[in-house]
Structure 1
Amino acid sequence: MTDPRRLIPRTDALLARPAVVAASARLGERRVRAEITAAQDAARRGAAAPEDVADTVERALEAATVTSLRPVLNATGVVVHTNLGRAPLSPAALAAMTASSGYVDVELDLDSGARSKRGAGARAALLAACPEAGEALVVNNGAAALVLATTALAAGREVVVSRGELIEIGAGFRLPDLIASTGARLREVGATNRTHARDYADALGPGTGCVLKVHPSNFRVEGFTSGVDIAELRALCGDVPLVVDIGSGLLAADPALPGEPDARSVLAAGADVVTASGDKLLGGPQAGVLLGRADVISGLARHPLARAVRADKLALAALEATVSGPDAPVVRYLHADADSLRTRADRLAARVGGTVVAHDGRVGGGGAPGVPLPGWAVRLPEAYARPLRLGDPAILPRVHDGACLVDLRCVPEESDGDVADAVLAVAACSS
């Protein structure tokens, strides 16, 4: 009797099939061979028929992607959603990344053929957008920008900071621990809710490396509070550098975000160095931005740590395109018209059922805490949330007050139909 396992297609025969050849070009031969081996092993165990192996391999390869990361439609109303990768990139930034994916003159002067300053384009774009800065430097994230500044200015010395600004950021990372890792010593002044100019004055001395002011971007302290503004701190500091971490990367004041600090205003008020993230309100790739006095920023760029935290060519290209190009998606979503959002929500509800309810979006990413972004959402049964997350496309709604809320603020309008189809599919399975 012939062993049915002899009918299992050979690896070389499967690799020669046109669909598998095409998949090898897209996914790589190692990934393709793994899928072939898995299908053959299933047939050897009797879990699949030998004649089904080829179809199984082709179906698996057709569904396979080059990354495990899945695109998600953000229907939460939170614009800078950390769990979804923060800022979605603009088409201009995507085009810049594609253009810079090969060999590029990231650190080369093509005219002379000599080595040049790294990321000159991103630097020029930042300086044009923030003329109050004498120099700019880009590193790989916001925390790295702050670490570089405090390391270069205060390693082995003191960083003077208000107790009310010793914040904890996402995933349990705490500012005091971050600064302590640089070799600087924290000199805490004032109280949690009130810090006065005299507190800083008493702390300044020969051992001071810098004064640090941090925007408490992810919380608010209200009531019996006081702080010291940047202009007053500048007068107190004298020759001591004043570093201000604005967090969210807003370059210029935005009336829609009252109270959110911006780089231009902070520098005009007297900060020597401003640090910020590139992938929050700036709307670009993950990056850390340092802006400020030319001599101070140039000194930071020469520090050995600057090499360890430098931004790669893709981030530099995307940041340049974000700053100098058309409005990034984050900007559009922040300023989305509430009436237009209502019209879209009405259309969605008309197709899928549910109720249109008022729904305030949020900035997210630690930016503008408590500032509502007026809008609308379609209220659906709470049970719809999980299948929407697991569907194709994956859709992340907000689960709140026993309901699944679908807010279209951060969903590209051309994807509204996809959202409706996904909801209808969930409804059909639930009925």
Structure 2
Amino acid sequence: MALTRESVVHGSKARPQDLPSVDKLLRLAAVQTLLDAHGHTLVTDEARALLDGLRARAVAGDLPSESLEADSLTASLCAQVEARVAPRLRCVVNLTGTVIHTNMGRSVLPQAAIDHVARMMSGPNNLEYDIAAGGRGDRDSIVEGLLCEITGAQAATVVNNNAAAVLLTLAALSHEREAIVSRGELVEIGGAFRMPDVMASAGAIMVEVGTTNRTHLVDYARAIGPNTGLLLKVHTSNYAVQGFTSAVPESELAQLSRERGVPLATDLGSGSLIDMAKYGLPKEPTPQEMLAAGCGVVTFSGDKLLGGPQAGLIVGDRELVGKIRKFPMKRALRLSKLPLAALEATLMLYLQPELLTRELPTLRWLTRSEREVNAMAQQLLEPLRAAVSPRFEVSVVALSSQIGSGSLPVERLPSAGLSITPVLSGKRGVGTALDALAQALRGLPVPVIGRIADDCLLLDVRCLDDATQVLQQLGALREALA
């Protein structure tokens, strides 16, 4: 049964009584395909919503009669159903110049991790099953050996992010006891998440020592008392204090820790597992170095410089990590099978360090040469220029990328990209034109995200592996701008 033009036309505007019933709409031939694909419940709900919206317009007298033709109704219902089931989490093209972008999912997983996750999620796996013994296993064992081999730690455990790793470490080692920390290391990370708040949540009694810019070993020594549970070092990865400063190195603090019988934990935040300086990048402390310096526990992230999934990694002394692992809060913070599989595959790459700059996207983008980045920009120049002409001009420019996610905040990487400027007679309207262009780029099937600065829209191509990600969408961009 189909709707016809004759059955609905009463002048140029449709009346409320012209609308079909839900049942009649669902019996349209083309709607049967929707029902087969998405089921009766969803399609019926969207059909009711569609007709309610059309009825409101008809009552207001602004519903064209053509809107009630069968083809139009079917197209509207299809669009509504597709929008309803479209994922909210989408891939984007990151041309912001920030490599590890917190708002865009931080590190991109290597293909090996993606493949391993797909295999492990497609059926049962041995998450907590010891295949050799034929009984219950421990999920930490999946990555503990790898972490110990890579870092030199005696033991390791993992939780769902680094904030959780710090929280759990504090709770397990200094609950209702004092945790001594330098005032200059009471950091705040994204989302107003502050170290003092983490310590309070863990039940630790925070004892601040030193000053904002200078803390000495004697400050820690004087603060240690009978109720001291932990010495805490926090790597200030998301800011830098310069000038008249002093901080106690882990090696000196570790000696005090041993002499006074108080464990030392250090939070590295970003947590690179390799010496970044070997790749011409700024130096960042590694868990290996912290453990070698004598730290009892080291915590760091899985989805920053390590280049894997979101996770909090805890490595260190066997007895201390054992206490952390057995603390009741651990179960609430543990990793599920999906990120654990991704973490395992990512860590496996570190056993083959020569392949890291090829296989690990984060390191590949960080180490990309200016020549390579400039060549990518040149490849996009003329096609993009044609797509935005005559409203905009495009040129290749030198840019500075940043590592991102609080890693090495003052360091910049020489880069290149495209500068897009509006063709206007003066300054008036520049902001509006750039906002419209940025919106058009975000509206592409795979949104392209750049940044607006200095009266132009900049597209930094450091993180672009394949130019076709942009080139194949330029037709849609041209239509959007038209």
Counterparts in 2 of 1:313 and 1:34: CA distance versus 1, 3 Å: same
Give the aligned partner of residue 324 of structure 1: 348
Structure 2 residue 46 is the aligned partner of structure 1 residue 38: no
Distance in structure 1 (CA, Å) of the matches to 2:138 and 2:361: 30
Contact 1:23–1:62 (CA<8 Å) still a contact in 2? no
Distance in structure 2 (CA, Å) of the matches to 1:423 and 1:209: 60
Counterparts in 2 of 1:35 and 1:91: CA distance versus 1, 3 Å: farther
Contact 1:5–1:50 (CA<8 Å) still a contact in 2? no
**How big is the shift at 1:120?**
2.1
Give the aligned partner of residue 401 of structure 1: 454
AA at the equivalent of 1:69: L
**How big is the shift at 1:266?**
1.1
**How big is the shift at 1:428?**
5.9
Give the aligned partner of residue 252 of structure 2: 232
Distance in structure 2 (CA, Å) of the matches to 1:301 and 1:310: 10
Pick from 334, 342, 345: which aligns with 1:310?
A: 334
Alignment of 1:66-215 (within 5 A): 66-101=86-121, 102-130=123-151, 132-215=152-235
For 2:300, what is the secondary structure of its paired residue?
Answer: strand
Give the aligned partner of residue 33 of structure 2: 19
Structure 2 residue 45 is the aligned partner of structure 1 residue 5: no
Cα-to-partner distance string for 1:239-295 (whole Å, 9 max, x where unaligned):
211101000121122113433111111111111111011111111111111011111
Distance in structure 2 (CA, Å) of the matches to 1:186 and 1:7: 66
Give the aligned partner of residue 383 of structure 2: 351
Distance in structure 1 (CA, Å) of the matches to 2:129 and 2:200: 36
**What are structure 1's unaligned runs of at least 5 residues?**
none
AA at the equivalent of 2:274: A
Distance in structure 1 (CA, Å) of the matches to 2:22 and 2:381: 51
**How big is the shift at 1:332?**
0.9
Give the aligned partner of residue 407 of structure 2: 367
Contact 1:388–1:423 (CA<8 Å) still a contact in 2? no
Counterparts in 2 of 1:148 and 1:7: CA distance versus 1, 3 Å: closer
Give the aligned partner of residue 265 of structure 2: 243
**What are structure 2's unaligned runs of at least 5 residues?**
1-6, 9-16, 350-355, 386-393, 422-433
Distance in structure 1 (CA, Å) of the matches to 2:133 and 2:479: 66
AA at the equivalent of 1:347: Q
Cα-to-partner distance string for 1:220-252 (whole Å, 9 max, x where unaligned):
111101111010000111221110100012112
Alignment of 1:215-294 (within 5 A): 215-238=235-258, 239-255=261-277, 256-294=280-318
For 1:359, what is the secondary structure of its paired residue?
Answer: strand
Distance in structure 2 (CA, Å) of the matches to 1:227 and 1:265: 17
Cα-to-partner distance string for 1:150-202 (whole Å, 9 max, x where unaligned):
01000111111100000111011111111111111111111111111111111
Distance in structure 1 (CA, Å) of the matches to 2:441 and 2:480: 12
TM-score when normalising by structure 1: 0.92
Distance in structure 1 (CA, Å) of the matches to 2:414 and 2:302: 25
Deviates more, 1:399-408 or 1:224-233: 399-408
AA at the equivalent of 1:133: A
Q: Which has the higher contact order (CA 8 A, sep 6+)?
A: 1
For 1:138, what is the secondary structure of its paired residue?
Answer: strand
Number of residue equivalences = 425
**How big is the shift at 1:206?**
1.5
Contact 1:243–1:273 (CA<8 Å) still a contact in 2? yes
AA at the equivalent of 2:376: R
Cα RMSD (Å): 2.3
Distance in structure 2 (CA, Å) of the matches to 1:73 and 1:170: 22
TM-score when normalising by structure 2: 0.82
Give the aligned partner of residue 300 of structure 1: 324
Contact 1:274–1:291 (CA<8 Å) still a contact in 2? yes
Counterparts in 2 of 1:12 and 1:430: CA distance versus 1, 3 Å: closer
Counterparts in 2 of 1:147 and 1:284: CA distance versus 1, 3 Å: same
Distance in structure 2 (CA, Å) of the matches to 1:8 and 1:21: 13
AA at the equivalent of 1:129: I
Give the aligned partner of residue 419 of structure 1: 470
- Provide the identity percentage: 39
AA at the equivalent of 1:398: R
AA at the equivalent of 2:37: A
AA at the equivalent of 1:252: I
**How big is the shift at 1:357?**
1.0
Distance in structure 2 (CA, Å) of the matches to 1:108 and 1:280: 30
AA at the equivalent of 2:79: R
Give the aligned partner of residue 386 of structure 1: 439
Give the aligned partner of residue 366 of structure 2: 334
For 2:310, what is the secondary structure of its paired residue?
Answer: coil
